[in-house]
Amino acid sequence: MKKVVKFGGSSLASPKQFKKAGEIIRSDKTRRYVVPSAPGKRNDKDEKVTDMLYACYDAASSGTAYKKLLNRIKERYVEIIDGLDLNLNLDFEFDRIEENFLKGAGRDYAASRGEYLNGILMAHYLGYEFIDAAEVIFFDDQGNFEAEATNRELSERLEHVERAVIPGFYGAKHDGTIKTFSRGGSDVTGSIVAKAIHADLYENWTDVSGFLVADPRIVDKPEVIETITYKELRELAYMGASVLHEDAIFPVRKEGIPINIRNTNKPADKGTLIVESTLRKPKYTITGIAGKKGFCAINIEKAMMNTEVGFGRKVLGVFEKFGISFEHMPSGIDTMTIMVHQDEFEEYEQSVIAGIHRAVEPDSVDLESDLALIAVVGRGMKATRGTAGRIFSALAHARINVKMIDQGSSELNIIIGVKNVDFEGAIKAIYDIFVTAELEN
């Protein structure tokens, strides 16, 4: 059995956290491949090493004072090395980093050094082989990730390596220029490594015990989701629920490799298992609730709209012309509503209205602002009668007016539109009816 384990920045922010990660890895011999992030914040007032590297590079490459910033970064690593009693000196690496900063090696290079140095440190601490991600993770000249070439190189490189540390977040173009994934990209590296070695499990260790049913800033101590499918995760992530980088799903999904979100500070917690599909019944009717504020609705009315071939295409063509993507499009016989991000729409609102009038000659076009969208997601909803009715009942009891409801054909999710001011209250009401009430029963 082979496992890939990725540790986030908060899990490697200090010697104490490093020791926790080391104990987790050593407690299971199948945890053979480790993907570390750069050191994160040690406390709320602290800085992430990646942010410090950006600031240091910007100063050095622009000819302003940078030495103090560089020394502060050095101190972070020295603190970890001393705290772990390691016989390791990174002076040579820092000299090379300083030289490349002054040469203007690029912000991607600067940002990647946090993971690179932590990878060296982690490999030394564990006694594992260190493999520089720049040697095995490839991008083309335009900066696009090359999945096939990377998978081929990683598979060959790791085939005869029993245990290795591969830093997260970065790779290299063909000319050797360092290229990073988007922020949080160490999750993606872990997924790529898991695919390359045909791992049995990809463990992603962070500072939470998995995905929560609802946002803990809105619902007090929400339940943890035990098992979630990739489709459910995609729906919730799109609506803002984030513990895992969105692109981390795709490499392992194709291989049928589960992802386990675990808590470095509570290793006994099972966390959340993310799978392609499962026979496991969800603990509750719903799997999770997530949402976003800041939408507006463009309501279009026209008698006999349903008989006009191409009506919807013409309307959406107006939004496309101004580069506005739509979120949802509920419709009736004589009505159509387009839900869009309000900040994207406001700049072009009069032009869009005029465009709609020219394109389809509606009877009226009305706007409604300050709306929020809430996704109620769950594979259990398909087999449960009256889910939508329970949502309406909960919101009515909380005196919240529903502006829109849209259910996908998969019956995996229901999207509800409410006013921004009712957003938190709506999530609490839905959580109470599906989780709190079911727990009590």
Query: What's the pLDDT at 284?
Result: 85
On whether the CB atoms of residues 170 and 231 are closer than 8 A, the answer is no
On whether the CB atoms of residues 400 and 418 are closer than 8 A, the answer is yes
Q: Coil, helix or strand for 385?
A: coil
Structure tokens, 120: 């060296």
Q: Coil, helix or strand for 253?
A: helix
Query: What's the pLDDT at 132?
Result: 97
The continuous run of DSSP H or E covering 211 comes out as none
Structure tokens, 179: 């290229």
Query: What's the pLDDT at 232?
Result: 87
In order along its 441 residues, the chain shows pLDDT tens digits of: 999 999 999 999 999 999 999 999 999 999 999 999 999 999 989 999 999 999 999 999 999 999 999 999 999 999 999 999 999 999 999 999 999 999 999 999 999 999 999 999 999 999 999 999 999 999 999 999 999 999 999 999 999 999 999 999 999 999 999 999 987 778 899 999 999 999 999 999 998 899 899 999 999 999 999 999 988 888 888 787 777 777 778 888 888 999 999 999 999 999 999 998 888 777 888 899 999 999 999 999 999 888 889 999 999 999 999 999 998 888 888 999 999 999 999 999 999 999 999 999 999 999 999 999 999 998 888 777 788 888 889 999 999 999 888 876 667 889 999 999 999 999 999 999 999 887 766
Residue among 239, 264, 263, 237 nearest 248 (CA): 237
Residue among 111, 184, 211, 195 nearest 153 (CA): 195
Q: Which amino acid is at 1?
A: M
Q: Go through the domains of the chain in sequence order and give each one's CATH number.
A: 3-207 (3.40.1160.10), 288-440 (3.30.2130.10)
Beta bridge partner(s), residue 230: none
Tell how strand 227-229 and strand 178-180 pair up: unpaired
Query: What's the pLDDT at 179?
Result: 96
On whether the CB atoms of residues 330 and 300 are closer than 8 A, the answer is no
CA quadruple 296, 302, 308, 310: dihedral, nearest 10? -20
On whether the CB atoms of residues 188 and 400 are closer than 8 A, the answer is no
Q: What is the pTM of this model?
A: 0.86
Query: What's the pLDDT at 410?
Result: 65
